[in-house]
Amino acid sequence: MKKAWVVIAITALLLIAAPGALAKSYSNGDTADEVSTIQRALTELNLYYTDITGHFGNKTEKAVKLFQKKYGLRQTGVVDDTTRERLYLAANISSSTVSNSSGTSYSTSTVLRNGQSGQAVRQLQTDLQTLGFYSGTVTGHYGNITQEAVRKFQRKNGLSADGIAGKNTLSKLNELLSGGSSTVVLPSTGTSSGSTASSSTSTAPMGTTLLKQGMSGDAVRVLQQNLVLLEYYEGTVTGTYGRLTKEAVRLFQRDNDLSSDGVAGPKTLAKIEDELAALAKTEENANVTSNPSATITPPAVVTPTSTPAPTTPTVSLANVETLNTEWTLRRTSRSGHVTRLQKALAALGYFKETPTGYFGSATEAAVIAYQTAKGLTADGIAGRATLKSINSDIKNGVTATNSGSID
């Protein structure tokens, strides 16, 4: 009898611990569905004021620390089990757990929807990923990214596109994954006859002239690598065209006067090749290897003998965008981030050249002049401290020729 009670007690503990085993801690740099839910909860508590993106960045981390401070938790900026539980409770957001049968078959009574988490959701994400509809991280949490993937799957397979994975949606998933259908409908190519579950992921062969969200393959991987070189893509090179890749493409298109739709078509891909060629030429002129996989070592910074005098701003502060403080810009950098830096320095009265997107001697001298005026380390490198200071001056209208705000 005593042995039986021990078995029952252990079983109960396992059942209690099972949902928690699926829980994941989130920190700066993570991208997932549940991050969107965390941001939504922080917004409800008036701690987070920007877009719900699903990406855990500096603003999300700051909001989490504020929440932890307010509720007497250790201010780590990491959403662990304790922080998640207190956060969802305070924001009145459900964190219910659901169960599912093992393998890829779903119970006919299973209904999965936004806000749920558990093994069944994890399996749903995995199955949608296999069929090329889900490009996020498999976390076991049903958030906005999973909901949109379900909608996309439903639309492509003639189902009611409500974003809820119910009986019909899960049955269709089972059918496609078990090989019960000779036709698998893919997110980017319509109907692909004769596809099987093992080869149904939408891929883009090398030489493809149109890449867009939902596609995956070597061509997407190359695109991401090229955007990393041009300092537009900050995510992991995965070969899957997701939200971060689309946003990087849109940013590149905007900086190069192309239609900013986030789709990498012939014009966009050709322009990327042009920019890479220009970058390689710049590196060659600077006696730096043009091997894309090599690390580019910037030349030693030489402080000019005289600091350029501040000039009358040539760019209106109203036309200046906030700088991304996650990037470090220095001599030989070439990207849209450099263009925005040059425009900002021009608006503040430190840069008088035409913005080119290339960080040369004129940009370096302007950065040194700004750093000197602000009492920062005058090394000519636009790092986090310098970029944050520039953002502050832009916000407050502080230029080189005044000490107050500009109307």
Q: Looking at the predicted structure, is the pLDDT value of residue 194 above 70?
A: no
Rounded to an integer, the average pLDDT of 39-49 is: 86
**Residue 322: count of CB within 10 angstroms of its CB:** 12
The model's confidence at residue 215, banded by pLDDT at 50, 70 and 90, is confident
Tens-place pLDDT, residues 357-367: 888 888 989 99
CA atoms within 13 A on the CB side of 91: 23
Question: What is the rounded distance in angstroms from the CA atom of residue 134 to the CA atom of residue 122?
Answer: 12
CA atoms within 13 A on the CB side of 278: 15
**Residue 293: count of CB within 10 angstroms of its CB:** 7
Instruction: Determine the pLDDT at residue 106.
Output: 60
Rounded to an integer, the average pLDDT of 147-165 is: 87
Tens-place pLDDT, residues 295-349: 444 444 344 444 444 555 556 777 788 888 877 888 877 777 888 898 899 888 8
Ranges 35-44, 199-208, 280-289: which has the least confidence:
199-208
Instruction: Determine the pLDDT at residue 23.
Output: 55
Which is more confidently placed, 262 or 135? 262
Ranges 91-95, 231-235, 393-397: which has the least confidence:
91-95
Q: Are 348 and 400 contacting, i.e. CB atoms less than 8 angstroms apart?
A: yes
Tens-place pLDDT, residues 283-298: 445 433 334 444 444 4
Ranges 51-60, 309-318, 371-380: which has the least confidence:
309-318
E strands, 38-182, in order = 97-98, 117-118
- What Cα–Cα distance (Å) separates residue 205 from each residue in 6, 215, 235, 300? 57, 10, 22, 42
Max mean pLDDT among 20-29, 224-233, 374-383 falls in 374-383
Ranges 124-133, 150-159, 259-268, 308-317: which has the least confidence:
308-317
The answer to whether the pTM exceeds 0.85 is no
Instruction: Determine the pLDDT at residue 220.
Output: 83
Tens-place pLDDT, residues 98-127: 333 334 456 545 778 888 877 788 888 888
Which are the contacts of 151, defined by CB distance < 8 A and separation ≥ 6?
161, 162, 163
Question: What is the rounded distance in angstroms from the CA atom of residue 185 to the CA atom of residue 192?
Answer: 6
Beta-bridge mates of residue 211 = 264
Instruction: Determine the pLDDT at residue 279.
Output: 66
Work out whether strand 117-118 and strand 97-98 pair parallel, antiparallel, or are unpaired: parallel
Question: What is the rounded distance in angstroms from the CA atom of residue 233 to the CA atom of residue 225?
Answer: 8
Q: How much is the mean pLDDT over the chain?
A: 73
Q: Residue length, the chain?
A: 407
Instruction: Determine the pLDDT at residue 176.
Output: 78
Reading phi first (left if > 0) and then psi (alpha if -120 to 50, else beta), residue 292 is in alpha
Instruction: Determine the pLDDT at residue 89.
Output: 83
What is the DSSP secondary structure assignment for residue 337, as one 8-state letter?
Answer: H
Q: Are 187 and 214 contacting, i.e. CB atoms less than 8 angstroms apart?
A: yes
Rounded to an integer, the average pLDDT of 51-70 is: 89
Instruction: Determine the pLDDT at residue 76.
Output: 94
From 165, 167, 197, select the one nearest 184 (Cα to Cα).
Answer: 197
What does the buried/exposed string (b/e) look like for 334-373 if buried means 16 or more CB atoms within 10 Å of the residue's CB? Answer: bbbbbbbbbbbbbbbbbbeeebebbbbebbbbbbbbbbeb
Which is more confidently placed, 196 or 50? 50
Return the amino acid letter for 344. A
From 101, 112, 166, select the one nearest 142 (Cα to Cα).
Answer: 112
**Is 110 exposed, middle or buried, given 0-12, 13-18 or 19+ CB atoms closer than 10 A?**
middle
H/E element holding 186? Answer: strand 183-186
The model's confidence at residue 77, banded by pLDDT at 50, 70 and 90, is very high
Ranges 36-40, 234-238, 262-266, 293-297: which has the least confidence:
293-297
Q: Looking at the predicted structure, is the pLDDT value of residue 35 above 70?
A: yes
